[in-house]
Amino acid sequence: MLSRTASELYWMARYLERAESIARVLDVTNKLSMMPIRDSEDHDLQVPLNLTGTGQLYAAAYPDLTMANLVSFFALDSRNHSSIYSCLQMGWNNAHAVRGSLSSEVWECINATWIEMKLIRRQGIGSVGADGFFDWVKERSHLFRGAMFGTLLRSDAMCFIRLGTLLERADSTARLLGVKNELLDNDNDPVREYYRMDTLLRAVSAREAYHSIYKQQLSRETIAELMILRNEIPRSLLACVGDMVQQLEQIGGNSANEPRRLAHTLHAELRFSSMKDLNKVGLSDWLGLFLGQINGIAESIHHTYLEAQ
């Protein structure tokens, strides 16, 4: 496969996954903002900004930190490259460039999503409501994955799409867990702690899975274990890295040695670690190290496959 085609497919998947991740975070942030447990400094409203590193850009564009402004900034604002609008636009551009490598169903799904996104932007979020918009983004993501798994040829194209999705998902899960963990460290209010833990699970669609696996009250230790070390949920770090290994194994060529080596090393670390091991390092520090390793894998994939040879 040409490196340019692989790059377009990889980044298409990353942008589409990023749009869904932002929608998930905004959804739970919106729900928290309506509960009578907010702290005086609105730390929960800062979560999307901290996750995406867009605090300065937001402050320059909006005078106050409110949920309505956050929705506008992260849903429709083209000045914000992390907004859902921007992510879907860039994902559509990537897909349009390599339509011949996609099935008609996958392309039609992405194209229809972008057409609907432009309509929503013209009409404003009020036309569907914030909750309706977040649900729409997640639904379109589910449709994209369904079309991909149901119709796309099992080839290198599928592997690069999956790699983009998995790297973005692992990065998002780790960052979200890190930001939420910092909030929990700095606030001793038990009611806020419970709701923050609950919305963290909701953000990765793992609330039901948690109660199915642990059958106990929420605790920070077990939530971290679920999101990092349990293979049963698709957004856990172990599940993402394990799937990355499988995709890299399916891409032929000896040049894949470095990405494979890095992915296998990280996968082995996750498989054979326990929360006791992670706590020795400190969860925040460990997550920082993990993000460094994920970025290393992404850079290796870029140099090995996506740069013009």
Q: DSSP for 178-195?
A: HHHHHHHHT---HHHHHH
* Phi-psi category of residue 124: left, alpha or beta, with phi > 0 → left and psi -120 to 50 → alpha: left
pLDDT digits (tens, 9 = 90+) for 162-180: 999 999 999 999 999 999 8
The predicted model gives 52-70 an average pLDDT of 93
CA 47 – CA 54 distance, rounded (Å): 10
Q: What is the pLDDT of residue 253?
A: 61
Of 197, 233, 202, 236, nearest to 218 by C-alpha is 197
For 7-37, the pLDDT digits (tens) are 999 999 999 999 999 999 999 999 888 876 6
pLDDT of residue 193 exceeding 90: no
**pLDDT at 39 (0 to 100):** 60
Question: What percent of the chain stands above pLDDT 70?
Answer: 95
The closest alpha carbon to 301, from 182, 112, 168, 105, belongs to 168
CB proximity list for 116: less than 8 A, separation 6 or greater: 136, 140
Query: Does residue 1 have a pLDDT over 90?
Result: no
User: Which of these ranges, 147-161, 252-266, 274-288, 293-307, has the smallest mean pLDDT?
Assistant: 252-266
Lowest mean pLDDT among 22-26, 179-183, 226-230, 285-289: 179-183
Above 60 in pLDDT, residue 255? no
Domain-wise residue ranges, the chain: 1-151, 155-309
| The predicted structure's pLDDT at residue 125 | 92
The answer to whether 9 and 157 are in contact (CB under 8 A) is: yes
Structure tokens at 187: 């606030």
pLDDT tens profile 102-117: 999 999 999 999 999 9
For residue 188, pLDDT beyond 90: no
At 41, the pLDDT band (50, 70, 90 cuts) reads low
| pTM as predicted | 0.94
Task: Give me the mean pLDDT over the 201-217 stretch.
Answer: 93
- Residue among 11, 265, 52, 267 at smallest CA distance from 172: 52
What digits encode the pLDDT tens for the residues 130-146? 999 999 999 999 999 99
Distance CA 300, CA 99 (A): 26
Average pLDDT over residues 87-102: 97
Mapped onto helix, strand or coil, the DSSP state of residue 169 is helix
Q: Tell me how far the alpha carbon of residue 22 is from its chain's centroid.
A: 7
Residue 35 confidence (pLDDT): 76
- Give the pLDDT band of residue 298 (cuts 50, 70, 90): very high
